[in-house]
Amino acid sequence: MTNAAALRVEGLRLRIGSFELQDISFDLQQGETLVILGPNGAGKSMLLETIAGFHRPARGRIEIDGREMTDAAPEHRRVGLMVQDFALFPHLSVKDNVAFGMRRRGGSRGRVDEILGRFGLEPLAHRKPQTLSGGERQRVALARALAVESTLLLFDEPFSALDPTQREELREELRDLLRALRVASIYVTHDRLEAQLLADRVGVLREGRLLQIAPVDAVFRTPADAFVARFVGVENLLDGRVVAAENGRLRIALGAAHVEARGQSLPAGSDVLLCVRAEDVLVGAEARQAGNSLAGRVARVREHGPLAIVELDCGFPLTAYVGKRQAAALGETSGGVIQVGFHPEAAHTLPR
């Protein structure tokens, strides 16, 4: 059993009302964090609740640490579930919150003290949750989950109700804690930035179906279909047609322009969707060495936090992210012809 996955889900199916989880399968290794992305109503919370034991699947199998747990009660699964408010008991101290789950399992006072020390909570042991900061409450919730020796941690959008500053601070602290603890975890969100920060792998869920599950960079740069591409924020989705396959790459017509891209082998004449992230679009002198070099015109420049969004007309619309200094210079040349490009490796092709 030592080489067993921390979690194995095989062919999971579950219907509640008119909604159905459909043939969900994946493994999760010890120390790995899987982020499940998806829009509201995709089934993300329903999937977590089923893994935690609150719903019994119609079909499929759930193994936790090598043991079948498909029909096991929640308290027998060694799973910690964290929700938006961390579900701490407001009338109990930090120490009593951590000890609560251990009482039913015969945990010792020494074990509680050990967990408090591990999370740096000893100075807070006698305080109530409402007197703690967001980060301190997060550590208490994690400590409580691990005090009962959870094999698996499940997070159901725990930061969704927080303001942006708190959210940024807490997810960075959570990332560091998860890496230090080396416990398997699943984190549900619709926030792409959280996925990129926290995940080892990302799964994209839509209408109860797991469309893609892969390492973070693979999902964001080689999405499985147009929905995944749009959901993970690929800014440039371009209609094209395959002209030829040359040297392991596809040559694609985008209107009058021809570009090279990576993608599965497709016959000439195939309609495709070309995916290029805005950060991979080069503007100005560096675009000449990009492999795919095009003439374009600046249609619009907009601020976007520390960067700027440049909307280009290359005979087809193309969006780029640039620094603000370069954006100011481009704004002065609005309407003039400039060089635009992207490397073939940065372009991913999907059948259309």
Written as six digits, the tokens of 296 are 């374009």
HSE toward the beta carbon, residue 22, CA cutoff 13 A: 11
According to DSSP, the residues that pair with 215 across neighbouring strands are: 201
Q: Label residue 91 by pLDDT band (50, 70, 90).
A: very high
The answer to whether the pTM exceeds 0.95 is no
What sign has the CA pseudo-torsion 67, 71, 77, 80? positive
Q: Which is higher by pLDDT, 325 or 33?
A: 33
Residue with tokens 């997060």: 138
Query: Domains of the chain by range and CATH?
Result: 7-231 (3.40.50.300), 236-351 (2.40.50.100)
| Predicted confidence (pLDDT) per residue in 151-203, tens digit | 899 999 888 777 788 788 878 888 888 888 889 999 999 899 999 999 999 99
Kindly give the pairing relationship between strand 209-215 and strand 236-246: unpaired
Could you give phi then psi for residue 221, rounded to 5 degrees? -110, -20
Which residue, among 136, 140, 139, 151, has the nearest Cα to 177 in the 3D structure? 139
Whether 289 shows a pLDDT value over 70: the answer reads yes
Q: Is the pLDDT of residue 104 over 60?
A: no
Please tell me the distance from the alpha carbon of residue 324 to that of residue 91, in angstroms, as a whole number: 51
Q: In 3D, which of 272, 256, 249, 275 has the Cα closest to residue 342?
A: 275
pLDDT tens-digit map of 76-90: 898 988 887 778 899
**Whose structure tokens read 């596809």?**
250
User: What pLDDT shows up at residue 1?
Assistant: 41
Across 279-299, average pLDDT? 91
Distance of alpha carbon 18 from alpha carbon 345, whole angstroms: 42
The encoded tokens of residue 34 equal: 């899987």
Q: What is the pLDDT of residue 332?
A: 67
- Please report the pLDDT score of residue 164 as a whole number: 82
- Which token pair is 25? 């399968």
Section 99-124 average pLDDT: 77
Coil vs helix vs strand at 183: coil
Residue 102 has pLDDT above 90, yes or no: no
Contact 311, 300 (CB under 8 A): yes
